[in-house]
Amino acid sequence: MTRSALPSSEITPESVYLDRRRFLAAAGVLGAGLVVAPALGACAPAAADASQQGSLGTPYGLQPYDKPNSYEDVTSYNNFYEFGTGKEDPKANAQQFTTKPWTVKVEGLVSKPGDYQLEDFLKPSKMEDRIYRMRCVEAWSMVIPWRGVPLADVIRRAGPTSAAKYVEFTTLYDPKRMPGQGMRYLDWPYNEGLRLDEAMHPLAMLVTGVYGRDLPNQNGAPLRLVVPWKYGFKGIKSIVRIRLTSAMPKTAWSEAIPSEYGFYANVNPEVDHPRWSQATERRIGQFRRIPTLMFNGYADQVASLYSGMDLRRNY
């Protein structure tokens, strides 16, 4: 096992979570004072012993309390504005969204541009299971067992030229299938970007699944980006284009509200959102707030990417 991945056998099965919760509810352990609001989903109790919990203490700064949220949490409380602005809208509105076949265009400063079917685009990268702590800019968080491939593998195969400095990602634009794109709160299609060295970092991941299953539509099927040291809006979903550029790409939220959403979007408890503090967060399914960790707990791995930068100006 590498430090960047956990085998799927070490991810607590969804059935273990759900069966344990049903047992506790029947036994009266989950009293009225502990009921989670329906909009937030149901966070399953901790596993009873280490064999069920999995080894969460060592990979990339995860702590013993960083136990994965339930499958219900992960798939029922989402930001995916292409399907609506409410946290429950994506699940309700994305069920008929068709993701097969799916083409990804690779273009820009690469030696191997082209239109690739998803299966060919990901080959021959090895699928990996990784448990990542995920942090949203609205000061809530989850711990999610993702399945996907290292972004760096895909970029290397595209053959970036020496002029490439950034990677731009674009979401599908199809208002008929994505009803939220009929609203003009963002300039569709959704765009996001990374510096090339960020994209090549081993933590950055192109995700195709969660909890060992194919990625549900509401979570960004069939292909999304996960960059765990950044706020959630950097995790662009339903990707159809990857373009390598020499200049910093425009990104959806930075263009819409530049005073609130910067290009870098690194999790930083010392830099508040203009409308709320980012010093603490609340894990979905829990009531107590916990301190926000610098770079979302991955500082040992990624802080060197930003050496010498003013992280208040480059937010």
The predicted structure's pLDDT at residue 94: 97
289-311 tens-digit pLDDT: 999 999 999 999 999 999 999 99
- Which CATH number does the domain housing residue 63 bear? 3.90.420.10
In a domain, residue 194? The reply is yes
Whether the pLDDT of residue 20 is over 60: the answer is no
In a domain, residue 2? The reply is no
Written as one string, the DSSP assignment of 270-294 is TS-BTTB--SEEEETT--SEEEPPG
* Distance from C-alpha of 248 to C-alpha of 254, rounded to nearest angstrom: 12
- Tell me which residue range forms the domain holding 58: 16-306
The DSSP bridge partners found for residue 104 are 116
Structural domain count, the chain: 1
In a domain, residue 8? The reply is no
In a domain, residue 298? The reply is yes
User: Residue 314 — very low, low, confident or very high, per pLDDT cuts 50/70/90?
Assistant: very high
211-260 tens-digit pLDDT: 999 999 999 999 999 999 999 999 999 999 999 999 999 999 999 999 99
CA proximity to 171, closest of 247, 231, 94, 230: 94
* Helix%, strand%, coil% for the chain, nearest 5: 30, 25, 50
In a domain, residue 9? The reply is no
Q: What does pTM read for this prediction? A: 0.81
**Would strands 140-150 and 280-283 be described as parallel, antiparallel, or unpaired?**
parallel
